[in-house]
């Protein structure tokens, strides 16, 4: 129901009658923000140039710094930072600025985020439509800029019922199949079924299936609905700025504005698709009967999978593993894969009737897992949805799985071992250039004391291979360290 609020223009005396009170009120006209050009209220009014530092500036062949024109339709400052720190000159112009008169001096066009209904900014849409036809520079859009690019390409937008607003929203890359975690804040969306033939979906929302990105199949134009520049994070997709600038450099080097934008992982995805097709051909005659259910993984058709549950849990402990195991079983069933679960804990969702195809209420131990594998003869096994209990089983049976005829799915056991051994994990992080807190692995209290003196207090003590972090904690001095280590070494051979 819609209504109006009447605002008093003066303080009403206690003795006044209702008629007198109403006369002192002001009737406020109803304003529909969806019908208002909100962009005009938030856009800058004059062009402004942001330059990189001389040592980071990216130069053209003629010595000029690469110039990106950004149409401010509600631009966030962090978008400016993302460009400038990458060495480009950013010229920010108002929403209705005629940037086409300077087309010969533009190396790339950026369309920012902004508020409101995208169809209200017809001046911007018309200029972007002309820019598309000119084919003089690559184009990249974010949020409202994504919708403007779609409208200029001939597609349509629609008002969403609730919109997508928040962090940690999953989006699927349609070119590689990868899922990225994004930050979003929009109430309108591009209607994917109205995209022209040369425009394809780049991302879709993994929750509601709405469009989250588009790309041109023949020209270097692309855009995304989410915010890759999101300051609070997640920052999984900030690489899109590098991809855009790389595309600008490619076009400048070749002297041609042609070819689609090249996204990371495309070649690998194509290779995986070709490999999957080859496996289908290879297994066409070898498969048992004509049953094509399941998925082919590393050359083998997976029809039945054993999932290791977490076993007995204390109240408030590791409930996330019940959730992850339940979701894994649901996903496997959607793929037509028969699921077998080992979990003695009846007070979990994953052991509920009708979820797994078969459930063994047995302890998650090497002996029980070995017996179930021999009896059920599954094609694959998951050790990563049962917490520390299941991970330990994977490590203990890693040399037996091949002989038992079962293929480890998901995270390889070797990777699990690296992450469990704190010293190996720190070394692996260093190899790929990722930051990791200074640490030492110790196998005795004496070694722990020496390591603590080297690092300095306070310290975090973490026991390896321990269920629920048993024996872990904080130590502010040597006395607390020794007390923690005694507990940790009772449950684990190593502390970090």
Strands 473-475 and 459-461: antiparallel
Reading the block at residue 446, the tokens are: 């004496």
Question: Kindly report the CA angle at 361 between 397 and 385, in degrees rounded to 5?
Answer: 50
Strands 304-308 and 338-342: parallel
Is 143 one of the annotated active-site residues of the chain?
Answer: yes
Is 229 one of the annotated active-site residues of the chain?
Answer: yes
Reading the block at residue 62, the tokens are: 């003629």
**Rounded distance between C-alpha atoms, residue 38 and residue 395, angstroms:** 58
Question: 3-state DSSP call for residue 417?
Answer: helix
Reading the block at residue 401, the tokens are: 């799985």
The residue from 229, 359, 383, 420 that is catalytic is 229
Reading the block at residue 430, the tokens are: 């260093």
Q: With 0-12 CB in 10 A as exposed, 13-18 as middle and 19+ as buried, what is 396?
A: middle
- 359-382: b (≥16 Cβ within 10 Å) or e: bbebebbeeebbebbeebebbbbb
Reading the block at residue 50, the tokens are: 């942001």
Q: Which single residue is written with the structure tokens 């629920």? A: 468
**Rounded distance between C-alpha atoms, residue 372 and residue 360, angstroms:** 8
**Rounded distance between C-alpha atoms, residue 284 and residue 292, angstroms:** 9
**Rounded distance between C-alpha atoms, residue 251 and residue 138, angstroms:** 8
The residue from 143, 251, 359, 383 that is catalytic is 143
The residue from 227, 251, 383, 420 that is catalytic is 227
Strands 380-382 and 304-308: parallel
Task: With CA atoms as reference, report the closest residue to 248 among 66, 477, 445.
Answer: 66
- Sign (positive or negative) of CA dihedral 116, 121, 122, 125: negative
**Rounded distance between C-alpha atoms, residue 400 and residue 357, angstroms:** 25
Is 158 one of the annotated active-site residues of the chain?
Answer: no
For the annotated catalytic residues, the residue numbers are: 143, 227, 229
């Amino acid at each position: 129901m819609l209504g109006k609020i009447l605002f008093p223009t003066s303080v009403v005396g206690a003795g006044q009658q209702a008629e007198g009170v109403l006369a002192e009120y002001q009737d406020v006209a109803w304003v529909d923000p969806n019908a208002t050009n909100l962009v005009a209220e938030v856009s800058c009014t004059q062009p402004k140039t942001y330059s990189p530092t001389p040592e980071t500036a990216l130069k053209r062949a003629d010595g000029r710094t690469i110039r990106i024109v950004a149409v401010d339709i509600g631009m966030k400052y962090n978008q400016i930072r993302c460009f400038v720190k990458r060495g480009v000159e950013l010229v920010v112009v108002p929403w209705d600025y005629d940037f086409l008169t300077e087309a010969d001096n533009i190396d790339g066009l950026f369309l920012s985020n902004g508020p409101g209904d995208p169809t209200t900014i017809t001046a911007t849409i018309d200029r972007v439509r002309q820019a598309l036809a000119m084919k003089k520079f690559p184009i990249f859009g974010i949020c409202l800029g994504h919708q403007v690019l779609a409208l200029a390409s001939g597609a349509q937008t629609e008002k969403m019922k609730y919109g997508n607003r928040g962090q940690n929203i999953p989006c699927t890359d349609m070119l590689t199949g990868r899922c990225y975690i994004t930050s979003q804040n929009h109430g309108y969306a591009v209607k994917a079924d109205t995209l022209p033939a040369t425009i394809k979906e780049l991302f879709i929302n993994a929750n509601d299936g709405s469009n989250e990105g588009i790309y041109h199949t023949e020209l270097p134009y692309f855009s995304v609905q989410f915010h890759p520049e999101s300051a609070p994070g997640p920052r999984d997709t900030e690489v899109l700025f590098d991809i855009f600038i790389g595309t600008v450099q490619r076009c400048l080097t070749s002297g041609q504005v042609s070819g689609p934008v090249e996204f990371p992982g495309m070649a690998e995805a194509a290779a995986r698709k070709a490999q999957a097709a080859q496996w289908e051909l290879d297994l066409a005659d070898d498969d048992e009967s004509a049953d094509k259910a399941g998925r082919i993984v590393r050359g083998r058709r997976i029809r039945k999978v054993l999932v290791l549950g977490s076993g007995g849990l204390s109240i408030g402990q590791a409930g996330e593993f019940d959730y992850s195991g339940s979701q894994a079983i649901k996903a496997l069933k959607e793929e037509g894969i028969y699921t077998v679960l080992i979990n003695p804990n009846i007070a979990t969702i994953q052991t509920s009737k009708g979820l797994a195809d078969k459930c063994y209420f047995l302890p998650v131990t090497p002996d029980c897992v070995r017996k179930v594998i021999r009896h059920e003869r599954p094609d694959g096994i998951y050790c990563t949805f049962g917490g520390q209990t299941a991970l330990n089983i994977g490590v203990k049976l890693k040399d037996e799985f091949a002989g038992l005829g079962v293929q480890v799915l998901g995270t390889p056991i070797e990777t699990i071992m690296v992450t469990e051994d704190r010293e190996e994990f720190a070394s692996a992080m260093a190899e790929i250039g990722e930051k990791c807190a200074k640490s030492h692995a110790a196998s005795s209290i004496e070694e722990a004391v020496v390591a603590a003196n080297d690092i300095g207090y306070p310290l975090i003590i973490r026991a390896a291979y321990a269920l629920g972090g048993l024996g872990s904690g904080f130590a502010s001095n040597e006395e607390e360290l020794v007390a923690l280590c005694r507990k940790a070494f009772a449950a684990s051979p190593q502390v970090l």
